[in-house]
């Protein structure tokens, strides 16, 4: 009976009678999160791009996130009880696109620093891989031949975690074995999404 239960174990909630006993203890490598926080940042930067076309001052140049926002610890000050005030350097990769020729792009990195207080003992590293740009708007402020001066405003949802790779002992039933794929037939005609109000 116990062997049958183990064969039927799938990810999800335990049945009302409870989960069967574990069969193994595994050692897995995971990121332990010591602390985390988030900030919404509204930033502005001036830059230049080189795009050939008939632009005028006030035209918009599209910009988008190009890869992950990265971060690096610059300095730390002990705040007591395992907490540290960290100065973090963030790098935001952006791609600018010529609206008259979408195949013409230019990549740039914008950098800025922020100071935060987190539980971050020695050896623990900052991670901001979940951070995203909510929007980015760039306006042409001056034109010198094909060099365009831009003022860019962008908003970042900054998610900062202090993490450390650790080996963790966990109770286990073994490995997840995938089942055969099934194809769910589509609805014909397609149904529209529900209204928001």
Domain layout of the chain by residue ranges: 23-172
Where does the pLDDT of residue 197 fall: very low under 50, low under 70, confident under 90, or very high at 90 and above? low
Burial class (CB in 10 A: 0-12, 13-18, 19+), 78: exposed
pLDDT > 70: percent of the chain:
88
Spatial separation of the C-alpha atoms in residues 10 and 175, rounded to whole Å:
10
The CA distance from 155 to 88, in Å, is 18
Q: What is the per-residue pLDDT for 5?
A: 47
Average pLDDT over residues 39-46: 94
Asked if the model's pLDDT at residue 1 lies above 50, the reply is no
């Amino acid at each position: 009976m116990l062997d049958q239960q183990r064969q039927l174990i799938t990810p999800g909630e335990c049945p009302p009678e409870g989960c069967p006993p574990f069969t193994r203890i595994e050692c897995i490598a995971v990121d332990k999160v010591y602390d985390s926080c988030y900030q919404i940042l509204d930033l502005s930067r001036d830059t230049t791009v080189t795009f050939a076309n008939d632009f005028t001052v006030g035209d918009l140049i599209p910009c988008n996130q190009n890869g992950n926002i990265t971060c690096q610890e610059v300095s730390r000050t002990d705040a007591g009880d395992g907490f540290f005030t960290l100065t973090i350097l963030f790098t935001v990769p952006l791609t600018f696109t010529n609206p008259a020729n979408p195949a013409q792009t230019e990549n740039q990195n914008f950098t800025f620093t922020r100071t935060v207080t987190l539980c971050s003992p020695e050896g623990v590293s900052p991670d901001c891989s979940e951070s995203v740009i909510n929007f980015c708007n760039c306006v042409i402020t001056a034109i010198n031949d094909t060099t365009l001066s831009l003022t860019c405003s962008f908003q970042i949802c900054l998610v900062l975690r202090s993490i450390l790779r650790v080996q963790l002992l966990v109770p286990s039933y073994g490995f997840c074995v995938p089942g055969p794929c099934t194809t769910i037939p589509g609805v014909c005609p397609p149904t529209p999404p529900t209204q928001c109000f």
